[in-house]
Amino acid sequence: MILPFIDKIYNNTFQSSFLFLGYMYSYRIYFLLKNNFYFYFPHFKPKITIPKTELELFNEKYKNAFFNAINSNKSFNENITDTFYDKEKYNKVMKEQHNELEKKWKSSILIQNTPRGNIIMCYDSFKMGFMYYCDNNVTHDILNSLASYYVTHFSCLDFFIDNEYYKDNKSKFVELYCKEDKTEKEKEKKKNSVFLENRDVFIKKKPKQNNKKEDKKEKEDKKEIEEKPKEIFRNKFINMGRVANFSFLNCPPVVNKNNNFQTDWNKKLNSENELQKQVFNYADYKKMLSAS
């Protein structure tokens, strides 16, 4: 009677100890995996995405809208007149005060709400840049995104010159106005450098140079010519001050007529002003003498 009873107790204790040890080890493994699961299995670790700021969302929205509009079959240069593409005509028109081009593009007004407050934007045809009014400091990215919307909204894509924001930019204004200005500046720099080199009165001996050094310099110059970076052109933005400075009404300039008071001196002064505006040649002077 005693032996089978002892066997049962032994078997029960052995099973209970085995279960207890199994429970302890399983709990230990569970605890380790719970705290260091991603350490042992890094592929299951979820990726943490940083939420975008308000500025990034604003710029992304306008950039997507700009490229979606450009990729469509529409043409966005309908409102640009031919005078912009003829430089001689453009210069003649710009010499006149209150000309039609300036009136047209200063009346094409864009008002948008941005993370930096309300911005009023229009195009200055004389300075070839985007004028803007804002009460706060504005980043270049916000102005670029607004310029992209302005260009598509008013159908004047060639006004947008930036080739970093829009890499496949084919604006004709780059060749007409931007590249020529750069070449003129380079010519002036060369003239100034020649003047600085030859300003000394006394003759200086040229330093001796080895042929090896000259060969190295020639090779370096060739490499620089071959590896020239792409010319970067950016849009021009003109800060016109606060929003309160902008006037929505195109009022005509006030002319003081002296309450309709006229004298001979007044007529003479007006005639002199008109003569100064006109170009007076020697041939016109001879005609005037022959007529008198």
For the chain, give every domain's residue range: 54-173, 265-291
Closest CA to 80 of 101, 106, 111, 94: 101
163 has pLDDT over 60: yes
Average pLDDT of the chain, as a whole number: 77
* Residues 149 and 92 sit within 8 Å (Cβ to Cβ): no
End-to-end CA distance of the chain: 160
pLDDT, position 174: 87
List, in sequence order, the alpha helices (H) in the chain: 2-40, 54-70, 87-95, 100-106, 140-153, 173, 179-197, 211-226, 264-277, 282-291
pLDDT tens digits along 192-234 = 665 555 555 555 555 555 555 556 656 665 555 555 667 888 9
Amino acid at 154: F
281 has pLDDT over 80: no
What are the residues facing 114 on neighbouring strands? Answer: 117
pLDDT, position 282: 64
pLDDT, position 118: 94
Q: Which of 51-65, 123-137, 251-265 has the lowest mean pLDDT?
A: 251-265
Amino acid at 287: K
Q: What share of the chain has pLDDT > 90, as a percent?
A: 32
pLDDT, position 49: 80
pLDDT, position 120: 95
Please state whether beta strands 110-114 and 117-124 pair in parallel, antiparallel, or not at all (unpaired): antiparallel
Q: Which of 103-117, 132-146, 204-218, 272-286 has the lowest mean pLDDT?
A: 204-218
* Residues 119 and 138 sit within 8 Å (Cβ to Cβ): yes
163-179 mean pLDDT: 86
Token pair, residue 104, equals: 């047209």
Closest CA to 174 of 126, 225, 123, 234: 234
Better-scored residue on pLDDT, 79 or 286: 79
Confidence of residue 247 (pLDDT cuts 50, 70, 90): confident
Please state whether beta strands 129-134 and 237-239 pair in parallel, antiparallel, or not at all (unpaired): parallel
Closest CA to 166 of 150, 145, 180: 145
128 has pLDDT over 70: yes
pLDDT tens digits along 65-123 = 999 998 888 888 999 999 999 989 999 998 888 888 998 999 999 999 999 999 999 99
50-75 mean pLDDT: 90
For 128: left if phi > 0, alpha if psi spans -120 to 50, otherwise beta; the answer is left
